[in-house]
Amino acid sequence: MDTLIFQLQAPLSSWGDVAVGEYRPTADYPSQSAIHGLLGAALGIDRDDDEAQSALRAGFRIAVGVLDQGRLLRDYHTSQVPSRTDLKKRPHATRRDELLVPKEDLNTILSSRDYRQNAASLVALQPLGPAPYSLHELAAALATPRFVLYLGRKSCPPAAPLHPRVVGAESIRAAFATYQEQLSALVQQHAPAYTSANVTAIQKIVWGDDFGQDDMANVGVPRDFSVNRKDQVISRKGWQFADRREHIALLVKE
Would you state the pLDDT for residue 47? 85
What is the rounded distance in angstroms from the CA atom of residue 152 to the CA atom of residue 31?
9
Q: Side-chain half-sphere of 9: how many Cα atoms within 13 Å?
A: 12
pLDDT value of position 15: 92
Are the beta carbons of 219 and 175 closer than 8 angstroms?
no
Number of domains in the chain: 1
Q: How many of the other CB atoms lie within 10 Å of CB of 183?
A: 17
Half-sphere exposure of 128 (CA within 13 A, CB side): 15
| 104 located within any domain | no
Residue 159 included in any domain = yes
* Res 195: pLDDT: 54
2 DSSP β-pair partners:
168
**Residue 111 is assigned to a structural domain of this protein:** no
| 29 in a structural domain | yes
Supply the pTM of this predicted model.
Answer: 0.86
- Let me know if residue 121 belongs to a domain: yes
- Tens of pLDDT along the chain (254 residues) come to 899 999 999 999 999 877 777 778 899 999 999 999 999 999 999 988 989 999 999 999 999 999 999 999 999 878 887 877 777 767 777 778 777 777 777 888 788 889 999 999 999 999 998 899 999 999 999 999 999 999 999 999 999 999 999 999 999 999 999 999 999 888 888 777 655 445 789 999 999 999 999 999 999 999 999 999 988 888 777 778 889 999 999 998 66
Q: pLDDT at position 119, please?
A: 96
Answer whether residue 231 is part of any domain: yes
Instruction: For residue 91, tell me if it sits in a domain.
Output: no
For residue 227, give the CATH number of its domain.
Answer: 3.30.70.2660
**For position 186, what pLDDT does the model report?**
87
Q: Which domain holds residue 217?
A: 2-71+117-250
For 89, phi then psi, to 5°, come to 65, 20
pLDDT of the residue at 198: 57
The answer to whether position 101 is within a domain reads no
